[in-house]
Amino acid sequence: MEADNERYLRLRWFGLGAISLSVALIIMDSTIVAVAVPAIINDLGLSTTQVQWIQEIYTLVFAALLLVWGRVADGVGRRRILALGLLIFVAGSALCALAPSGGWLISARAVQGIGGSMILPATLSLLNATFRGKERTIAFAVWGSTIGSMAAVGPIVGGWLTSSYSWNWAFLINVPLGLIAAGGVLYFVAGSRENATVKLDDYLGALLSVVGFGSLAFGLIEGRHYGWWSANTDAPFPLFGLSPVPVSLVLSVLALVGFILLERSRSQAKRSVLLDLSLFNISSFSRGNLTALTVSLGEFGLILSLPLWFQNVLGLSALQAGVALVPLAAGSFVASGSISALSKSLPAVRMVQLGVGLEIVSVATLALLIRPDSST
C-alpha cells in the first residue's frame, strides 16, 4: 500500500493531465455541438423543437444530476465515479455519432449528460485530495485554464471536423479521447473517498435536488420558446393557456426550499446530508461559488450563442466561426494562469467586480463589432 501511495505521488502531475483531459471533454463537447448544428439539421431533417432539445437535454440532465453524483463520488470513490462517467460519456458520444434520427440523437445526448454530471464534480474532488499547498493552487489553475480554453477551442475542432469530414466526427472524437482519459485516471490517479461516520442515505434530498435543479434548468431554457407566462403555440402542454415554464419555476423553488430545510434538519440531527450548508459560512467557499456563477453566465452564454450568430447571421463557415472564438480561449487561459498572483494584491470582492466589468465591456464591444449592416 505504501509503495502504491509513493507511485501515485510521483505520478500526480500525469494524473493532473488525465483529470484535465476528462473535464476538457465535457466542456469541449457542449461547444462542438453548437457549431455542428446546421450540418445536423441538413442531414437529419430536424424540426425546430428537436434542434432545441439536442442542445438543451444535455444541459438539463447535467444540471439535475451534478450535485447527486458529486456526493455519491465522495461515498463510493471519486476515481471510480470519474472512470465510470467517462465510459458512459464515451458510449453516449458513440450513440450520437450513429444517430439516424433526431429522437435517437436527443436520447444519446441525455446519456452524455449523465456521464458529464459524473465527471465534473469527481475531477474537483480528486484535485483537492491529490494536491496540497501551493501545488493545489497550480492544479486548480490548470483545471480552470482547461475549462476556459476548451470552451473556445471546441468550436474550432467542431468546425474543422464538420467542414472537412462530417458532423458525426464531432461526436466520434470523444471516443478515443475519453478512453485515453479513463485509462490515465485509473493508472495515474489515486483513489479517494470521504471517511464518513454515518451512512449516506439522504434519498429524499437527492430527489428534491434533482427535481429542483432540473425544473430550474428546464424553465430557464424553455422560457423563450414556450412563453414565460402565457403559452405560445409551440408549448407542448398548455395549462389553461398558461405556459409550463412558470409551473416549472414554481416547482423548482418549492423543491429547492424543501431541499434546504431538509438538509438543515438532517445536519442538526447529525445525519448524512447531500450538501453541507455550513460550507457557505466559509467566505472563500461562498465567494468562489459566486465567482464561478458569474463567469459561467458570461462565458458559456457567449460560447453557445456566438457560433450560431456567426454562421446564421454573418454567414461564416463552421471553421471560421470556431477561429473567431480563439481570442476568447487565449484570454481565458491567460486569466486563469494569472489569477493566483492577482489574488495576492486584490481582495476577492474587487476581483469579482473587475471580472463582471470586463464581461460587460466585452459583450458591449462585441455587439457593436458584429451587428449586421442596417443598410443591407
Each residue of 80-106: pLDDT tens digit?
999 999 999 999 999 999 999 888 999
Residues 167-200: pLDDT tens digits? 888 899 999 999 999 999 999 988 887 776 567 7
Angle between helices 12-44 and 48-76 (to 10 degrees): 160
Residue 48 has pLDDT above 90, yes or no: no
Distance CA 26, CA 44 (A): 24
Residues 89, 24 contacting (CB under 8 angstroms): no
Helical segments of 269-325, H only: 283-312, 318-323
Beta carbons of 119 and 303 less than 8 angstroms apart: no
Whether 109 and 54 have beta carbons less than 8 Å apart is answered as yes
pLDDT of 14 higher than 80 = yes
* Residue 243 contacts residue 224 (beta carbons within 8 Å): no
Helix (H) or strand (E) run with residue 242 in it: none
Give me the half-sphere count of Cα atoms (radius 13 Å) on the Cβ side of residue 307.
Answer: 31
Least confidently predicted of 126-130, 138-142, 204-208 = 138-142
% of the chain with per-residue pLDDT over 90: 19
pLDDT for 340: 57
CA distance 59 to 79: 23
Task: Tell me what pLDDT residue 113 has.
Answer: 92
> Which of 76-80, 236-240, 276-280 is modeled with the greatest confidence?
76-80
**Phi, psi torsion values for 305, nearest 5 degrees:** -95, -35
Strand partners, 239: 242
Asked whether the beta carbons of 218 and 60 are under 8 A apart, the reply is yes
Between 131 and 137, residue with greater pLDDT: 131
Sign of CA dihedral 9, 177, 90, 298: positive
Least Cα distance to 236 among 250, 254, 222 occurs for: 222
Which residues have C-beta within 8 Å of that of residue 233, sequence separation ≥ 6? none
- CA atoms of 138 and 115, how far apart (whole Å): 26
Backbone angles phi, psi at 312, to 5 degrees: -85, -30
**What DSSP letter does each residue of 64-98 carry, written as one string?**
HHHHHHHHHHHHH-HHHHHHHHHHHHHHHHHHHHT
pLDDT of 262 > 70? The answer is yes
Residue 65 identity (one-letter amino acid): L
- The pLDDT assigned to 330 comes to 64
Q: Is the pLDDT of residue 1 over 70?
A: no
76-80, 116-120, 276-280: range with lowest mean pLDDT: 276-280
- Residue showing cell 454562421: 311
CB 308 within 8 A of CB 34: yes
Task: Copy the grid coordinates of residue 84.
Answer: 465510470
Q: CA-CA distance, 283 to 18, in Å (whole number)?
A: 30
Highest mean pLDDT out of 50-59, 120-129, 227-236, 278-287: 120-129
Residue 274, CA distances (Å) to 71, 72, 133, 318 in order: 6, 9, 27, 42
Burial state string for 58-95 with b = 16 or more CB within 10 A and e = fewer than 16? bbbbbbbbbbbbbbbbbeebbbbbbbbbbebbbbbbbb
What is the identity of the amino acid at 122?
Answer: A
CA 221 to chain centroid, in Å, comes to: 15
Q: Residue 239 in 3-state DSSP? A: strand
Q: How confident is the model at residue 376 (pLDDT cuts 50, 70, 90)?
A: very low
Looking up cell 447531500 gives 274
Query: Are 372 and 313 spatial neighbours (Cβ–Cβ below 8 Å)?
Result: yes
